[in-house]
Amino acid sequence: MYLFGAGIFGLGTPELIIIAVILLVLFGPKQIPKLGRMFGSTMKEVKSGIDEATKELQSEGDADASNAGCTACGAELAPGAAFCNSCGAEQVAAIAAGCISCGAELAPGAAFCNECGAQQEKKADA
Ligand SMILES: [Zn+2]
Ligand SMILES: [Zn+2]
């Protein structure tokens, strides 16, 4: 034990090699990959946890970004605002428009009315 000059309790590289050999003898070479996989899966769990946290942060950022800006000038709008504070443009998308022909409720973005079949002119194009 004094061969390496590190003392009884000192752990130098040669001692670590001896410990590795002892582990190899105790657990057998077949157990070493298992230990490696255990370590690997732990690292994966840690990594997936970090990924989830990152995704949550990103989706929060996306939710902020999806607060649509002004359809005319792109300025930030208060949620549900009907008019832009910067340019005064009416926010068409924010208004749940009915059919221009019969006034029936339309699915958001519907091009034709389900009730009368009238084509819905997009006000945003004007
Ligand atoms: Zn605007
Ligand atoms: Zn209609």
Do 54 and 87 fall into the same domain? Answer: no
Using one digit for the tens of pLDDT, what is the confidence trace for 15-25? 888 888 888 88
CB-proximal residues (5 Å) to ion ligand 2: 99, 101-102, 104, 113, 115-116, 118
Answer whether residue 4 is part of any domain.
no
In this prediction, residue 49 carries a pLDDT of: 87
% of the chain residues with pLDDT over 90: 6
The tally of domains found in the chain comes to 2
Inform me whether the pLDDT recorded for 65 exceeds 50.
no
In this prediction, residue 81 carries a pLDDT of: 81
Answer whether residue 32 is part of any domain.
yes
Do 80 and 56 fall into the same domain? Answer: no
Range of the domain at 116: 68-126
Q: Average pLDDT for residues 76-91, to the nearest whole number?
A: 85
Q: Average pLDDT for residues 45-60, to the nearest whole number?
A: 82
How far is the centre of ligand 2, averaged over its atoms, from the C-alpha of 48 (Å)?
50
Answer whether residue 53 is part of any domain.
yes
In this prediction, residue 67 carries a pLDDT of: 59
Answer whether residue 7 is part of any domain.
no
First-residue to last-residue Cα distance in the chain: 89
> What is d(CA 60, CA 80) in angstroms, rounded to the nearest whole number?
19
Q: Average pLDDT for residues 73-92, to the nearest whole number?
A: 85
Q: Average pLDDT for residues 20-44, to the nearest whole number?
A: 80
Answer whether residue 120 is part of any domain.
yes
Please report which ligand is nearest the Cα atom of 69: 1
Question: What is the 3-class SS of the chain, one letter each residue?
Answer: CCCCCCCCCCCCHHHHHHHHHHHHHHHCCCHHHHHHHHHHHHHHHHHHHHHHHHHHHHHHHHHHHCCCCCCCCCCCCCCCCCECCCCCCECCCCCCCECCCCCCECCCCCCECCCCCCECCCHHHC
Do 61 and 72 fall into the same domain? Answer: no
Please report which ligand is nearest the Cα atom of 115: 2
Using one digit for the tens of pLDDT, what is the confidence trace for 87-119? 998 876 545 567 888 888 888 778 888 899 999
